Structures are given as structure tokens and as C-alpha cells.
Amino acid sequence: MEEESNPVKDFLFDYIKSSQTIPQLISEKKFDKVIEELIENCYDKILSMGEKDEVVGVLATGILHYLLTNALITSQRKVEYQGIELDIIVPDTKTLEIDQKKTLLICIPKSSDTQIIEEKLSQLEKIQSVSENIWVVLSENIQTEKKSYVLSKENNTFSKIIFDIAQFSNVGGTNKFKILRT
């Protein structure tokens, strides 16, 4: 299944390819620094590419996909499960069926409308009964009962997400590599 081109993703991955520092940061497992560099150098440009919530959501998805792969954390993205589209699931839908305590759902709603966010989260609660295993990535700081990360230039909390996911994977016992002990 060929994914359609997206200017935000194209810009992000072109930047990653041309970066002198990102490969070094990846090899040192400094994923928070990678995220900070990407936000510093890509955020303003991607904001000019469309509606803020939408482009920040695409940026968050792209960064997470790239870093989860480089951190060797098993995950699936953009999968449908029981009629619900999942943005990112760690490690996979099979584990979700077997053991919800070991499964993390990351919701990237691409909206700052609290009603839309709450609807999406309540959909996820139908398939993930362990409420604290549903996290949300937002473009601005919006109150939610879920663990949330904000991807923005100010008040950015998104840079901690990879370590939190790695910690979750290590505690859950699904990450066989255990390379990101924090």
C-alpha cells in the first residue's frame, strides 16, 4: 500500500536526510535532542503548510514513526482495529487482543477541539480498557484526563515521549532489546 506524498512529511524527512547532527544523536540514543532539533528547525516551516492542528499532527506522526523505528521499539501506525483507526500502537494489535496492560495507544487527533479529542479518546477506551495506556499528542496544551504531550515551540513536552514509550515497553516486557533504560 503506497502512501500518498505529504509536504510536511517530505519536508521532515528531507531535513532528517540532510542533517549532520541527527545520525550522531540517534547513535547516542539522544532521542529527546533529535525531537528538539526537528522542532527547532522544522516547526515554523511546517506551520506555513496548512492548518496548525493538521500539520502538527502529521509532524508528530512522522517524528514518532522515524524514532520508534530507530529506537527498535515495535509499533504499528495507521492501522484499523475493530473499525477504529489507530494512529500509533505499541507494540501491535495482536498484543492488544492478548494483553491490554502491555499495549499502548497513542492518539494524534489533529484537532484542538476538545469535543473531537474526547470523542476520539472515548472510541479508544472501547478497545483499550487500561485507561492510562492511552496517550494523546496535541498541538497545544489542552486539558484531558489522559497522559498528554504537546508538540510546539513553547511548552514542548513531546521530546520526552520516546523515553516514556521505551520505559512503557521495558516495564511491559515487550521490548526485547531494552536499549533505552532511563
pLDDT tens, position by position, 34-47: 999 999 999 999 99
Q: How confident is the model at residue 177 (pLDDT cuts 50, 70, 90)?
A: very low
Distance of alpha carbon 116 from its chain centroid, rounded? Answer: 18
10, three cell numbers:
517530505
Q: What is the pTM of this model?
A: 0.90
- Top pLDDT among 154 and 48 is at 48
| Torsion angles phi and psi, residue 47, rounded to 5 | -60, -30
Q: How confident is the model at residue 109 (pLDDT cuts 50, 70, 90)?
A: very high
Residues 9 and 65: their CA atoms lie apart, in Å, by 11
Q: What's the average model confidence in pLDDT over 83-111?
A: 96
Delimit the domains of the chain by residue range: 7-172
Residue 52 CB burial class (10 angstroms; 0-12, 13-18, ≥19): middle
Q: Is the pLDDT of residue 133 over 90?
A: yes
Q: Is the pLDDT of residue 115 over 70?
A: yes
**For residues 30 and 52, is the Cβ–Cβ distance under 8 A?**
no
Q: Does domain 7-172 have CATH number 3.20.20.70?
A: no
User: What residue type is assigned to position 149 of the chain?
Assistant: Y
In this prediction, residue 146 carries a pLDDT of 96
- Top pLDDT among 25 and 5 is at 25
Q: How confident is the model at residue 68 (pLDDT cuts 50, 70, 90)?
A: very high
48, three cell numbers:
506555513
Q: What's the average model confidence in pLDDT over 103-127?
A: 96
Nearest to 32 by CA among 152, 123, 163, 120: 163
> What's the chain's average pLDDT?
91
Nearest to 106 by CA among 141, 51, 68: 68
Residue with C-alpha cell 505529504?
6
